[in-house]
Amino acid sequence: MGIRTGVVGAGLMVISLLAVGCDDRPRTIDSQAPEEPGPSLGNEVPSEIPPVPSEEPDPPPAPPPGEGPGRTPETGEPPNAGPWPVDAVLDYTQRFGVGTPQSAGLDEGLNLWLLDGDRIGVMRPGDPGPTWTKGVGQARQPFGRDSLAIDSTVICGGEAGRAYVGYRAAEMKRVEGISQRTYIPGPGETNYTPERYAEYQKGDLDAVRLQPDGTVALEEHLWRTTGASNAGKQLGIHNTNDFHYEEDRSILNCTRVTRGPYRGDLYVTTNHGVTRIQGLTYNSHRHPGWYLITTNPDGTQAESLQCPPMYGLGIAKNGDVLVANEQMVGVLVPSGHLAEWDRENTWAGPTPWTFKGFNHELNGQASDDFWRAFEQTLSGHYYLGSAEFGVWAMTPKSRSTGNWSKLAGLPSDRILALKATDDGALYIGTNGAGLWRLEPDGTTLAPVQEVAGQRVLQFVYEPTVTPSMLLVVTDLGLTVLRGP
């Protein structure tokens, strides 16, 4: 959250104290700066961008119709139902004893992964229940502020037999002699200390592997990236263009791309932005930030880039990446080259924003909207869920503004998760009122009473099997819906 005060005088001065800042180095600005957001500035973006190597392979083509998991060949054979039960609604906590995980995921081999604090569970197709492994990777030390992680957050499946586990780390403290909180000098550099350098190892993301006996082992704590300054530095996830900036410390959400030319890519949102991952290589990060203007004691003005924690994450049907932090929302178009992910040029460049704005109907830009989910339904409509302000429909009317309207009829404004499904519906996970379904008409709402639990923590959608699978993680366990 942020602590903000507004002062109205000759102009508006907004003083912001964010729990996680994007760039806490204010700089003097030109009073004639344009209102429409321009390219991001600061340590995020290198002033000179190296060309993409010509030998970098093109992205893999999308599977042709009738081929690949979940696609029916042109032979009249029945659809691929996958290895799991096809009951329309099945409580996996009751049937398979999976307990009450905080997060769940499916990998490309349709192994079911579960996360419960410092335990990782896996249930392979045919297993009577999950096998749990404790103390892997960042969880090998007891959780705590001064440990490798404060706690675990989410789990996402990757290629068959692999999963990614996210962790949370404490915010770094400002130290004397270093102007930015997230800057870490390396060995031999001014103000270097081993203690501060060790901050690189905290939080972030583990890749783990399924073993033949059903247990889990650490494959690698992710560190490989596309930036030249990062080459060979096994320092966890940090800024791709300059390893000195340790801004992505806590993984807040994750999703695996399940179809299209970039199937298998993983996206994770953090305390700072959204990072793209292919295998064991990442490129961080992008964020729909904005500039906060402050007035100095001498009357001059300065601005600093604001990008609070990002929870909202979705993949549109055309492959666009949908992101939402506490204040801003954005739609990104990924390119075929991982090295181009962090190349910020706002509306242009290889990975442009097609929308980047905020909900002016709800709050001012300096106020938190607490976005927790961002989805696009089959009809093309965008929906965002807020932890405090309900579900909002959004239709862009320009690159930075939209028409916003609140969805009526829900019993709670506390939203934790959304998921658009191939039947055109939108599933809505509330914090206190259970699971709800918005029909494709965009107006008909009804509770899904067959799913136990009042607090819906997460959705995972697997459309590559028929009927499709929708995993619903609640405070009472895991339920799977087939066919939405």
Report yes or no: 309 and 325 within 8 Å, Cβ to Cβ.
yes
Report yes or no: 260 and 319 within 8 Å, Cβ to Cβ.
yes
- Residue 188 structural domain: 87-286
**pLDDT at residue 64 in the model:** 38
Residue 339 lies in a domain: no
Q: Is the pLDDT of residue 308 over 60?
A: yes
- Taking only Cα atoms into account, the Rg of the chain, rounded to an integer number of angstroms, comes to 22
Residue 304 lies in a domain: no
In sequence order, what are the beta bridge partners of 383?
Answer: 375, 393
Three-class SS state of 340:
helix
Structure tokens at 266: 């993983």
Question: For 110-113, which contacts have Cβ atoms below 8 Å and span 24 or more sequence positions?
Answer: 110/69, 110/82, 110/83, 110/84, 110/462, 110/465, 111/157, 111/160, 111/161, 111/210, 112/84, 113/155, 113/156, 113/157, 113/163
Instruction: Kindly report, residue by residue over 372-422, the tens digit of the pLDDT.
Output: 999 999 999 999 999 999 999 999 999 999 999 999 999 999 999 999 999
Residue 113 lies in a domain: yes
Instruction: Kindly report, residue by residue over 31-88, the tens digit of the pLDDT.
Output: 333 333 333 333 344 333 344 443 444 444 444 333 344 334 444 556 799 999 999 9
Distance of alpha carbon 40 from alpha carbon 344, whole angstroms: 6
Q: Is the pLDDT of residue 469 over 50?
A: yes
Distance, first Cα to last Cα, the chain: 35
Distance of alpha carbon 184 from alpha carbon 245, whole angstroms: 6
CA distances from 415 to 81, 165, 230, 383 (A): 31, 23, 38, 12
Instruction: Kindly report, residue by residue over 7-29, the tens digit of the pLDDT.
Output: 323 333 333 333 334 544 444 34
Distance of alpha carbon 435 from alpha carbon 459, whole angstroms: 11
**pLDDT at residue 81 in the model:** 96
Instruction: Kindly report, residue by residue over 437-449, the tens digit of the pLDDT.
Output: 999 999 999 999 9
Instruction: Identify the weakest region by mean pLDDT among 164-168, 290-294, 336-340.
Output: 290-294
**pLDDT at residue 13 in the model:** 34
Percent of the chain with pLDDT over 90: 76
**pLDDT at residue 360 in the model:** 96
Q: Is the pLDDT of residue 180 over 70?
A: yes
Structure tokens at 402: 């939209």
**pLDDT at residue 76 in the model:** 52
What is the b/e burial string over 409-426, where b = at least 16 CB atoms within 10 angstroms of the residue's CB? ebeebbbbbbbbbeebbb
User: Which amino acid is located at 275 in the chain?
Assistant: T
Instruction: Kindly report, residue by residue over 132-156, the tens digit of the pLDDT.
Output: 999 999 999 999 999 999 999 999 9
Residue 26 lies in a domain: no
Residue closest to 281 by CA, chosen among 169, 164, 183: 164
| pLDDT range class, residue 291, cuts 50, 70, 90 | confident
**pLDDT at residue 3 in the model:** 29
Residue 351 lies in a domain: no
Three-class SS state of 138:
helix
**pLDDT at residue 78 in the model:** 65
Domain count, the chain: 1
Report the C-alpha dihedral over residues 240, 251, 347, 257, rounded to 10 degrees.
Answer: 100
| pLDDT range class, residue 177, cuts 50, 70, 90 | confident
* Sheet of strand 162-168, all strands in order from the earlier edge strand to the far edge: 151-157, 162-168, 204-210, 216-221
Residue 190 lies in a domain: yes
Residue 211 lies in a domain: yes
Report yes or no: 141 and 4 within 8 Å, Cβ to Cβ.
no
Residue 200 lies in a domain: yes
Instruction: Kindly report, residue by residue over 218-228, the tens digit of the pLDDT.
Output: 999 999 999 88
Instruction: Kindly report, residue by residue over 77-135, the tens digit of the pLDDT.
Output: 567 999 999 999 999 999 999 999 999 999 999 999 999 999 999 999 999 999 999 99
**pLDDT at residue 77 in the model:** 52
Residue closest to 137 by CA, chosen among 205, 90, 91, 80: 205
Q: pTM of this prediction?
A: 0.86
